[in-house]
Amino acid sequence: MQQPPDDRPHLRDIPADRLAASLAAAGFERADALAHRLGIAVHRDGALTWDDLGLAGIGRFVRASLSERFRFGPLLEVVGEREADDMHTRKWMLRLRTGEVVEAVAIRHWADHTLCVSTQAGCAMACGFCATGRLGLQRNLSPGEITEAVVHAQRAIGARITDIVFMGMGEPLHNFDATIAACVNLNHASGHGIARKRITISTSGLVREIRRMTAEGMRWRMHVSLHSAIQETRERIMPIARTNPLPDLVAAVRERQQALGTDAKWVTFQYVALPGVNMDDRHVDALGRELEGVRYILNVIPWNETDGPFRAPGWDEVKDFTTRLRRLGCPVKVRYSAGKQDGMGCGQLAAETIAVTPREGHMIAPPGIFTSHTG
């Protein structure tokens, strides 16, 4: 006989700022104090089982009462782990209880540890340069599934995750409520306690959701995937641009900057560099024309090899492109995708380990340490 669905909320899914209210509604006394202790245990201390909560100081009788009203236990299973040759990057394949697999990538930079987390299994955006987009959307992750990746990563590396980027599998704003709830749990004093300025949401440019964040005063850092300031090119490589056209996207970004002031003083536009597609003078001029009046940083990402129809740029091409971008008068950064030789770079996450051999001219050194060495 099939068991009825368990509709008890999972403790890791409840936003930390609403946990006290949930406990009070369930009949618990001193709900505020219990919510703080429980939130610290679940999130910052990384409890995964009821026994772990006991070790964190949640008493036996309280745990018994909690188990009657709430679910708790692992939401993810680590089914694969790989360390890149650079020794700074590690990737985990994490199986959801419904069978889908998502990935998380940790990047170490001195004492800081950045974790790239997924918000969906697969992705509906179908960007032509991204391996995840070829999977299609399988399902959204819950807030707890998103943040439990932090717990597994911290246990594996034996260090605290200091920075979170929502740049893994999926479009974060396509799973809006779960993404924002995850941000709350990552930032809250009774959650992981990660500073707001160290949490970044990356979006392909969902205009309605960007405007919703602005209207509701959500001050999370946001990076916008632009990849071209020519609508025709953008539609070619990003189908979502057909329903979220460039003029509307730029207007939404302007509105956000005006509304949030110093919290959105600069917007970072991400720009995957694709030779023969979006690196010529026409595209440079379009950036200056379409983004006039916006305070922005251009984050150039040399395309990372997948099975897509593009070619990764060599360092000479990247240097030439960024040199021509100087005439825009905006800060230009080149992002080195750590671990891309081992399928851990931007756009390479596809619920499996992808090892690729770079083509001739592929840039393998971090920008700022440019070299003519090619793989």
- 346 in active site: yes
Is residue 148 within 8 A of residue 330, CB to CB? The reply is no
Give the C-alpha distances (Å, rounded to integers) separating 90 from 13, 235, 241, 368.
25, 33, 32, 23
Is residue 355 within 8 A of residue 105, CB to CB? The reply is no
d(CA 263, CA 58): 38
The active-site residue, picked from 68, 83, 103, 148, is: 103
d(CA 164, CA 153): 12
**CB-based burial label for 232 (10 Å; 0-12, 13-18, 19+):** exposed
Three-state DSSP at 105 gives strand
Amino acid identity, position 312: A
- 130 in active site: no
Cβ neighbours for 243, distance < 8 A, ≥ 6 positions apart: none
Nearest to 141 by CA among 79, 89, 94: 94
Instruction: At 17, list the tokens.
Output: 């700022």
Nearest to 20 by CA among 8, 38, 42: 38
Three-state DSSP at 302 gives strand
DSSP 14-80: S-GGGHHHHHHHTT-SSHHHHHHHHHIIIIIS---SHHHHHHTT--HHHHHHHHHH-B-S-SEEEEE
Task: Using DSSP bridges, classify how beta strands 296-302 and 267-273 pair: parallel, antiparallel or unpaired.
Answer: parallel
- From first CA to last CA, the distance across the chain in angstroms is 58
Helix intervals (H) in the chain = 19-25, 31-39, 50-55, 60-69, 143-157, 176-187, 207-215, 231-237, 246-260, 281-290, 315-325
Three-state DSSP at 122 gives strand
The active-site residue, picked from 123, 130, 346, 352, is: 346
Q: Give catalytic residue positions.
A: 103, 346
